[in-house]
Amino acid sequence: MKSTYPFNPKLDLAFERVVDVPKELVWRAWTEPSLLKQWFTPAPWQTVDCEIDLRPGGLFRTVMRSPEGQEFPGSGCYLEVIANEKLVWTNALLPGYRPVTVAGVPGTRNDFQFTAMIELKSVPGGTQYTATVIHADEAGCQQHAAMGFKDGWGKALDQLVAMAKKM
Amino acid sequence: MKSTYPFNPKLDLAFERVVDVPKELVWRAWTEPSLLKQWFTPAPWQTVDCEIDLRPGGLFRTVMRSPEGQEFPGSGCYLEVIANEKLVWTNALLPGYRPVTVAGVPGTRNDFQFTAMIELKSVPGGTQYTATVIHADEAGCQQHAAMGFKDGWGKALDQLVAMAKKM
């Protein structure tokens, strides 16, 4: 594990790969909406909207669309923004660090919560890309794994790399 | 409102006062456990334990004790740490930005969640002290207000100032 994060295998998921594009392009792909929309969801899914307010406490919002046309909006809050190195956000908080809740059901949340951390490091051959997803409990972690975390993040990264090579 | 935060009166609580001690001492009172334990809970309540890992993602833990001897532990995670200026933490995340949950009840949380922000600014006569507490929903905000937020934070600040003047 190349991440600086103290990984917990029961609660966390990780994805790691060396990609042959410079970390500055990976960073742009993650932080510019017009670029993110091109790779973020494995085809035939699409990312049809994206808002990025790139600062701690700022909004990270995406809308994913299924092949059948159903839309899945999601909002989170950036926690750490270190250009070309580290990006951390969570969907347990809304912009301005406001805790998430479901309307009318105090204390509950609309989905399984996670914090995601992208770490980039220049290595021979390109960029060491590490994604760590941190869950509240084992159920959330298992649910995320069952949704195809590794496969999905891998396919999305393939798309990111293909896009970056054309830039 | 002197805070930089976009205050929402339905969801947020604020407390503001100018205190006649330098902001560097107020900062130390909030960030050194041996000092924090002396003022954090209005007497006859006590803060009997405190752990501070002063960095974004680091632990902020306190144990408050009622006059009857009941203990109330609480853990949170720092979000922003700007020395002598701004301190932000939340109890919606644990250290390492892990979302909070209740064991065995995925998606629920153990208490009303909030993010707290302390802002300090040097002004003629001392320090402008602004505390903002950001809630998930109106119920959480009202519950916190009913628990005596303003009175409690005011008495605690009186204790902080009395301590700082002896330093």
Residues of B in contact with A134 (CB under 8 A): 96-99
pLDDT for residue A5: 75
Q: Please tell me the CATH code under which domain A12-166 is placed.
A: 3.30.530.20
Residues 6+ apart with CB under 8 A from A166: none
Helix then strand then coil, % of chain B, to nearest 5: 25, 40, 35
Average pLDDT over chain A reads 91
Model ipTM over 0.85: yes
Residues of B in contact with A100 (CB under 8 A): 92, 136
Nearest CA in chain A to B93: A92
What is the Cα–Cα distance from A150 to A9, expressed in whole angstroms?
Answer: 14
What is the Cα–Cα distance from B44 to B58, expressed in whole angstroms?
Answer: 29
Q: Where are the alpha helices (DSSP H) in A45-137?
A: none
pTM score: 0.90
Interface of A with B in 7-66 (CB under 8 A): 11, 56-57
Q: Where are the alpha helices (DSSP H) in A11-147?
A: 23-31, 33-39, 138-146
B71 interfaces chain A, CB cutoff of 8 Å: no
pLDDT for residue A109: 47
Helix or strand (DSSP H, E) at B164: helix B149-165
Q: pLDDT by residue for chain B (167 residues), tens digit each?
A: 456 677 899 999 999 999 999 999 999 999 999 999 999 999 999 999 999 999 999 999 999 999 999 998 889 999 999 999 999 999 999 999 999 875 444 444 456 789 999 999 999 999 999 999 999 888 889 988 998 898 999 999 999 999 999 99
Of the options 3.30.530.20, 3.30.428.10, 3.30.450.70, 1.10.1060.10, the CATH number for the domain spanning B12-165: 3.30.530.20
